[in-house]
Amino acid sequence: MKLRKLMTLVLFGLLLMNTQCNEDDVAILPCGLEIIIDNSTYNDVESHAIENATITGNCLDISIYDSGCDSNNWVMTLVDSGAIAESMPPQRYLKLSLFNDEACLAVFNKEASFNLIPLRVEGANEVLLHVEGLSEPILYTFN
């Protein structure tokens, strides 16, 4: 009887290990923060200075500096105007907004990653992103 239970457990363990996913099966998830696409919000929002911006896959990684007590309380929002300049490549216009109501003299760095997939333009495989505060536009290339 004990041998039968042991064989059942071994068989169940082998079946369980067989159903685990391979590294090739792991889905790549988009970045954390969504971009707001709204012209009214774009016109109303005040842009914040950006220290650095890079594209990694479908993510726009942005780094900023600001004064405050703790950067964990800051809220970064990336807003797209909704307008698409019909050129080759198409162009989009964005602003980074920072909500920081802290009144401390320390300076902190904060980084955020934004999902670029909603900014894709049908019929194109790249989009030129004009982010207010950056001296040069950033080219977002996708499949």
Q: In what order do the strands lie in the sheet with 107-115?
A: 52-56, 59-67, 107-115
Phi, psi of 92 (to 5 degrees): -130, 160
The pLDDT score that the predictor gives to residue 22 is 46
Paired strand residues for 95: 79
Express each pLDDT in 36-75 by its tens digit.
Answer: 999 999 999 999 999 999 999 999 999 998 988 888 888 9
Query: Does residue 26 surpass a pLDDT of 60?
Result: no
Model confidence at 78, pLDDT cuts 50, 70, 90, reads very high
State the fold for domain 28-141: Immunoglobulin-like (2.60.40)
Averaged over 100-107, what is the pLDDT? 85
- Give percent of the chain with pLDDT exceeding 90: 61
The pLDDT score that the predictor gives to residue 105 is 84
**Torsion sign across C-alpha atoms 8, 11, 15, 16:** positive
Query: 107-123 burial by CB neighbour count: b if 16+ within 10 A, else e?
Result: ebebebbbbbeebbbee
Report the range out of 15-24, 101-110, 126-135 with the highest average pLDDT. 126-135
The pLDDT score that the predictor gives to residue 21 is 46
CB 33 within 8 A of CB 115: yes
Averaged over 12-19, what is the pLDDT? 48
The full set of domain ranges for the chain reads: 28-141
